[in-house]
Structure 1
Amino acid sequence: MNMRHAADLLRTLTEEHAVPGAQLAVDTGTELISVATGVTRSGGGLPVDSGTAFAYGSVTKAFTATLVVQLASDGDIGLDEPLAGSLAEFRQPKDRAAGSITARQLLSHTAGLVSDHQLPDPGERSLFRYAASVAALPLLLEPGSSFSYANTGYNLLGRLVEEVTGTSWQAALGDFLLGPLGIRPHFLHGSGPSGRVAAEGHAVRPGERQARPVGLYLPPTWAPAGGLCGSARDLVSFARLHTGTHTGTHAGGAPLLGPQDRAEMHTSQPAADAFGMADGWTLGLARYGADGHWLGHDGTVDGATCHLRFHPATGAAVALTTNATTGTRLWPALLRELRTLGLDVADYTGALPASPAADRALADPAPLFGEYANGDTVFSVRPHGAGIRLSDPSGLLADLALYDGLHFSARRTDTAAAPYPGRFVQDPATGAVHLMQLAGRSATRLPAAA
C-alpha cells in the first residue's frame, strides 16, 4: 500500500458509508502511511487533515489505563491494593464488597460495577463527588468474578489518578503521556484551548445516505472513560509506545512504558471473558483474533467512531477515526481491503453462526422475555410483530435475531450502525435465563411483576 492507494481507499469507503470525514493511519512496522478525507461537518465544514481532532470515545480508556500503569510503575498506585486504601469515598461503601475493588479489576472491567452512572447535575465536574456517588450504589456482580464493561470504572480510575498526582486527570494525561509522545492534548471538556480543529459528529439513519450533525455529548465526569480527542496519526504514536518502537522517556530519563509495564498491560486477565466485545481483555486493552496477538480498542460517542489495532510482535498498527455512526460499518470493510493487501489485522467477529437459530431451544422465545437491569438502565425484551424488540428508557430500539446457544445480534432501528452481539445466560442450577450480555455489558434479570 502506498499513500495514493490509501487515500483512494479511504475516500471510496467514506463515500460508500456516507461518512463526511475520516482519517486513516497505517504503520506497517517499517513505514507510516497517514491520509485524511472529507470535511469536519457535513454541508459546510473545514477539510479534514492529519491534525484534525476526532472524538476517540472509549479508546480514551486505553490512554487512561496506560497512565495508571505508569503511575503503578512509579509506586504511586498498587494495582492489587483495595481502592479504599487510596480513596476515602470507598472506605464505607453501600456494598461492603466495593471496598475491596482494585485498580486491576477496574482496568479489566471485572470490578462488578454498573456500566454507566451519571450524577443528577449533568454539568458536574467533580470526580470526588462522582466517586462518592458510585460508592453509594449496589454492585452489579461480585468484584473479580466476571467481565462487564463499565465506563464507571474508568471514571473511578480518573479519580484515582487525581488523588495520587494532586492534579486533574487531563493535566496528568498531558504531562505524563501525551506531551512526551508529542501529542497535543484536545479534550471534549477542555482544559484550555488546544488550537486544533475538531470534527463534529453525524448520525446516518438506516436506508438513508444523509449524514445529520449531532452534538457530541459526554458528562464531564466521564472524561477519563471517553473524553479524549485526537487524530489517527496520534493513535499510531500511542501504539508505538506499546509495540516498543517508541523509545521516549520522561524528563527524568525513565521510559514512558518499560518492557515489564508493557508485558503487564498486555497480559490477558483470567476473569475477563469479554464476550460481545473482544476475544479477551488485558489491563485496558482488548485482544483480537484466535491467537489474541492483536491488541487495541474501539470507541463510539454520539456520531463519531474510532478504532485502533496494533501487533506488539511486528510493530504493525492501524487507526481509523470517523465523524459518523456508520464508521462502525466502514471499519470491517477497511479491514477486508487491508487483508487483500497483506496486512491481516484481526477483529472480533462475535462468534455468531452464519444464520439465525434453528434449534428447538429457541423455537419458543417466550422464556427470554422480561426486563434486565444494569444499574439504572433497564432493558426490556418483548415480542414485536413476528420478531423480538429490545428497548430501554433512553430510547434504544433494536431488533434481535436469535442464534443457537442463546446468542443474538441486536440491530438498532435508528441508525445504520453495525449490529451488537449478545447472549442470554442460563443459571447453571435452574436452567432459567438470569443474565443478558449485550456488547460486553451484563444485565441481571429482574423478577417478573406479581
Structure 2
Amino acid sequence: MAVAIINGNETWAKGFGYASLPSTPVTPHTLFWAGSTTKSHTAAALSLLVDNSSDYSSVGWTTPMSQLLREDFVLSDDWATAHVTVEDALSHRTGYPRHDLSIGAGGTRGVVRSLRHLPMSAEPRTTFQYNNLMWAAAGYLVSALSGSGLGEFFHRHLWGPMGMEKTFLGDWDPLFGSSGLELADGYWWVNSTGSYVRQPPGFTSVAVRADEGGGAVVSNVLDYAKYLRVMMAEAGPVSKAGHRELKNPRSFHDFHQDMFVGPVTYGLGWMSGVFEGHQVFYHTGTVTPFVTFMVMVPSKSYGLVVMANSYSHVRELVTYRILYDLFGVEESRRRDFESK
C-alpha cells in the first residue's frame, strides 16, 4: 500500500508492505492500477472538448451521445437512444444496470455497440445505477472526436500540463515501458492457506483494456497528489467552468453514506458528501485486486490518496482514519468502521 497526504502546501507520501513478494517494497513511486478514479480523468478530458467550441461546437454536457456517435451509440430503447446525454452517461443515470460481464473481447467500440443488446432496468434519469460501459463510451467519444488515442489525449492535454509524468493509460501505454518504475503485482488472500497468491501477469490488463475511459489508469500516489492539487485549486488545463461542471451533482447514491452527513451525490467522475461541515469530493477505484481511494477537501486544502495491490477494506479504514486525524475529530466521535 502507498499513501499520500496533502495538508496545505505540504505533501507527505510513504509506502507500506510489498509491491512484489517476497521482498520488493512499496515506495511512493510504485505504480498501481487506479481503477475507477480513471473516470474523473475522462470527464476532465471531455470538459476540454466542451470548452473548445471552435473545434468541437457540437459537444456539450447535454448533447445526446447518439448525435456524437451516431452508428455506435444505440441503446435498447429508442427514446433512450435519442435522449441520453453526455452528462447522463457520466453520472450513472442512463437506466442501465451494471452489466460488467459484458465488458470483454471486441475492444472499446465493441463494448459501446453491445449496449443495443443489453436490457435497461429503469427509465433514464430516474435512478442511480453504476455502469462502467457508459464510461467506455465516454472514453471512446474522446478518441473519436479528437482523432487520437485516449491515452495520447490524456498525456498531451491533461497529464503533461499537470506535470504527471508517471501516469499512464494501462500497461500498454507506449510511454509505460520507459518509465523506469515498477508496477506492483496484484495479490489475493487465501483464507484456507493463510497466504497471498499472486494474480497471473496480464490479468488486470485484459480486464480493463476495453474500458479505458472507466478504469485503465496506472499511476502512483505522488502523481495523484499533483492531480488532487490541480483539482482543488481549480487550475488549468481544465477551465473554472469545467471544474464546476465536474463537481456539480447530477445523481444521488448511497456509497459511503455512513461516513457523511446528508445526501451523497455523483457529479461527473466525482462523488461528494459533507464531512465535519466541509464538502468532500472523492472517488474509489477497484480493478481487483487493486484498490484506490482519492479524496479532496478544497475548503481545507486537504487531499489524500490510498493505493493498494490486494483487495480489502483497509482502503476505507486508512482513508477514514486519515480524514479523522486531519480534522482533529475526537476518538469518542469517530465511527467504529473496523468492527463492521
TM-score over 0.5 for the pair: yes
Instruction: Describe the SS at the equivalent of 2:42.
Output: helix
Structure 2 partner of 1:212: 197
Unaligned stretches of 5+ residues in structure 1: 1-21, 248-254, 355-416, 420-450
1:198 is displaced (CA, Å) by 0.2
Equivalent position of 2:230 in the other structure: 241
Q: CA–CA distance in 1 between the matches of 2:136 and 2:40?
A: 13
Q: CA separation in 1, counterparts of 2:321 and 2:74? A: 51
Q: 1:266 corresponds to which residue?
A: 247
Partner SS state of residue 220, structure 1? helix
Indicate the residue corresponding to 2:89 in structure 1.
Answer: 106
1 CA distance for matches of 2:297 and 2:309?
A: 25
The reply on whether 1:148 has 2:129 as its aligned counterpart is yes
Q: Give the residue type in structure 2 aligned to 1:79.
A: W
What one-letter code is carried by the residue in structure 1 that aligns with 2:185? Answer: E
**What is the match of residue 166 of structure 1?**
147
Letter in structure 2 aligned against 1:128 = R
8 Å contact 1:232–1:320 — kept in the other structure?
A: yes
Aligned partner letter, 1:63: H
1:317 correspondence with 2:296:
no
1:357-383 CA-to-partner distances (Å, cap 9, x unmatched) read: xxxxxxxxxxxxxxxxxxxxxxxxxxx
Aligned partner (choices 306, 329, 335) of residue 292 of structure 2: 306
The equivalences for 1:311-390 within 5 A come to 311-326=297-312, 328-336=313-321, 339-340=324-325, 342=327
Distance of 2:135 and 2:73 partners within structure 1: 19
Whole-angstrom distance in 2 between the partners of 1:341 and 1:136: 48
* Higher RCO, 1 vs 2 (CA within 8 Å, ≥6 residues apart): 2
Partner of 2:300, secondary structure, is coil
In 1, the alpha carbon distance for the partners of 2:42 and 2:339 equals 26
2:174 corresponds to which residue?
192
Contact 1:105–1:144 (CA<8 Å) still a contact in 2? yes
Cα contact 1:98–1:139 (8 A) shared by 2 = no
If the length of structure 1 is used for normalisation, what is the TM-score?
A: 0.64
Secondary structure of the 2:237 match is coil
Q: Secondary structure at the match of 2:281?
A: strand
The 5 Å alignment of 1:19-30 reads 22-30=1-9
Provide the rounded CA distance (Å) in 1 between the counterparts of 2:153 and 2:220: 20
1:16 aligns with: none
Q: Deviations over 1:61-107 (max 9, x none)?
A: 11111111222122332110111110023575431123111111111
- Structure with greater Cα Rg: 1
In structure 1, C-alpha distance between the alignment counterparts of 2:315 and 2:240, rounded to whole Å? 34
Which amino acid is the alignment partner of residue 168 of structure 2? H
Picking from 41, 48, 67, the partner of 1:63 is 41
Relative distance call for 1:293 and 1:299 in structure 2 (3 A) is same
> How many percent identity over aligned positions?
19
Normalized per residue, the structure richer in helix is 2
**CA displacement 1:250-275 (0-9 Å, x = unmatched):** xxxxx311222211211112xx1212
SS at match of 1:192: coil
| Contact persistence 1:307–1:321 (CA under 8 A) | yes
State whether residues 124 and 219 of structure 1, in contact with CA within 8 Å, keep that contact through their aligned partners in structure 2: no
How far apart, CA to CA, are the structure 2 residues paired with 1:101 and 1:418?
42
- Count of aligned pairs between the two proteins: 315
Instruction: Give the aligned partner of residue 79 of structure 2.
Output: 97
User: Aligned equivalents of 1:296 and 1:174: distance in 2?
Assistant: 22
Q: Which amino acid aligns with 2:300?
A: T
Query: TM-score if structure 2 supplies the norm length?
Result: 0.83
Q: 1:118 to 1:189 in 2, by over 3 A?
A: farther
Q: How many Å separate the matches in 1 of 2:20 and 2:46? A: 34
Equivalent residue of 2:307, what SS? strand
Query: Match for residue 275 of structure 1?
Result: 254
For 1:43, the aligned partner's letter is P
2: CA distance, partners of 1:319 / 1:58: 13
Question: Is 1:40 paired with 2:3?
Answer: no
Contact 2:100–2:131, Cα closer than 8 Å, also in 1: no
Q: Residues 111 and 143 of structure 1 are in contact (CA less than 8 Å); yes or no, is this contact kept in structure 2?
A: yes
State the partner residue of 1:115. 98
Pick the aligned partner of 2:27 from 44, 49, 53: 49
Q: Structure 1: how far apart are the matches of 2:294 and 2:109?
A: 31
Taking a change above 3 Å as real, the CA distance of residues 67 and 335 of structure 1, as seen in their structure-2 partners, is same
- Which stretches in structure 2 are left out of the alignment for 5+ residues? 258-263
Looking at structure 1, the residues matched to 323 and 229 of structure 2 have their Cα atoms a distance apart, in angstroms, of: 19
CA offset at residue 23 of structure 1? Answer: 1.1
Mapped partners of 2:133, 2:339: distance in 1: 24
The alpha carbon displacement at 1:49 in A equals 2.1
The Cα shift of 1:339 comes to 2.1
Q: SS of the residue aligned with 1:70?
A: helix
Pairs within 5 Å for 1:432-447: none
Describe the SS at the equivalent of 2:71: helix
Q: 1:207 to 1:332 in 2, by over 3 A?
A: farther
